Amino acid sequence: MAQDLRVFTKDDVKPDTFKDTTIAVIGYGSQGRSHALNLRDSGVDVIIGARRGGPSEQKAEADGFRVLSPADAAKEANFIALTAPDMAHAEIFKNDVAPNLQAGDALMFAHGFSVIYGQVTPPKDVDVFLVAPKGPGDLVRREFERGRGVPCLFAIHQDASGHATDKALSYADSIGGTAAAVFETSFKAETETDLFGEQAVLCGGATELVVMGFETLVEAGYPEELAYYECLHELKLIVDLLNEGGLAKMHEFISETAIYGDLRSGPRVINEETRERMRAVLKDIQSGTFARDWILENQAGKPAYNALLAADLDHPIEEVGRKLRGRMSWLKPGANNAPEN
């Protein structure tokens, strides 16, 4: 059985680790923006690396950051946080980061994909690690502003300076992670579990379950609106309960009829055959097959990806959902009666 991960807290953070440190955040999307804002609010010197004239440059400048080209940011900083999308890492690293790395610099990722699957091969004389908050960027920012934090994972790939762990923990602390918990893992474990969770449960598994449930009810003659409410809309209610208190809280707040149906019929839908299919997905990830296929798909211009995405968004559940969500005032931007997550 796997051992429990050690919990790191603020007591484990070495003071003044970022004294005389400039962090270049390259990639100003959801995670990059939240990291940069939180780092700055924690007193860290932050600059942004972004393509000139692009939307990231404009957004970062509007947020009050000094924005340089990715290459100039990498040259000026001694700590580079590469928060751009995975498939952009190879080009950014080759053209902008690698030529400007100095011995003893730190190179940080928010996900281990590009290192594990050979898209980035850092020189041996720099620290290489990841810090991965377990939540989307807007939540990382929102919780930080409330004086709280989102749990983070960190992993060390190379410790050239002897201080890589101190740097990783200070980064996690500066974006709010130690207000919750910080766990140490490995690049391999973070990458493979993250990919598996997305594919088998959180995104692929959950959406396919929702769509198939919707289709089953509609094929049986029930109105699409009822199918949408029962198989998609109410899913949030259950996920919120699970997120807040696990299976126990869900069972506490649903009816005994729902509990009985859960216990009796859940294993009829998600069963040993499903588990075997999940194992096949995991094997695909562990063997590198998924990464190879995704890298090649990007190199080809993403034709299969675009076709699959278009088909997914063309499903009837999307049209029904748009109509029904139009009547849900709490979902509209700026609604002051939006329910707390």
Question: Is 31 annotated as belonging to a binding site?
Answer: yes
Question: Is 69 annotated as belonging to a binding site?
Answer: no
Question: Is 194 annotated as belonging to a binding site?
Answer: yes
Residue type, 169: L
Question: Is 205 annotated as belonging to a binding site?
Answer: no
- DSSP-assigned beta bridge partners for residue 24: 47, 80
Q: How far apart are CA 186 and CA 174, in angstroms?
A: 21
Burial 277-310 (b: 16+ CB within 10 A, else e): ebeebbebbeeeebbeebbeeeeeeeeeeeeeee
Tokens representing residue 17 in the block? 């680790």
89 among known catalytic residues: no
Q: Which of 228, 177, 204 is nearest to 281 (CA)?
A: 204
What CA–CA distances, in Å, run from 293 to 5, 216, 281, 300? 31, 32, 13, 10
Tokens 């002897």 — which residue?
162
Tokens representing residue 309 in the block? 């995405």
Q: How far apart are CA 107 and CA 131, in angstroms?
A: 11
Question: Is 234 annotated as belonging to a binding site?
Answer: yes
Strands 67-68, 79-82: pairing kind = unpaired
Q: How far apart are CA 74 and CA 22, in angstroms?
A: 10
Tokens representing residue 146 in the block? 């409330």
Question: Is 137 annotated as belonging to a binding site?
Answer: yes
Spatial contact of 155 and 184, defined as CB atoms under 8 Å apart? yes
Question: Is 301 annotated as belonging to a binding site?
Answer: no
Question: Is 256 annotated as belonging to a binding site?
Answer: no
Considering the candidates 89, 111, 233, 251, report the single residue annotated as catalytic.
111
Question: Is 161 annotated as belonging to a binding site?
Answer: no
Question: Is 198 annotated as belonging to a binding site?
Answer: yes
Spatial contact of 173 and 13, defined as CB atoms under 8 Å apart? yes
Q: Which of 72, 66, 115 is nearest to 95 (CA)?
A: 72
- The helix/strand/coil state of 272 is helix
Question: Is 255 annotated as belonging to a binding site?
Answer: yes
Question: Is 245 annotated as belonging to a binding site?
Answer: no
Spatial contact of 26 and 49, defined as CB atoms under 8 Å apart? yes
Binding site per annotation, positions for Mg(2+):
194, 198, 230, 234
Binding site per annotation, positions for NADP(+):
28-31, 51, 56, 137
Binding site per annotation, positions for substrate:
255
What amino acid positions are annotated as catalytic residues? 111
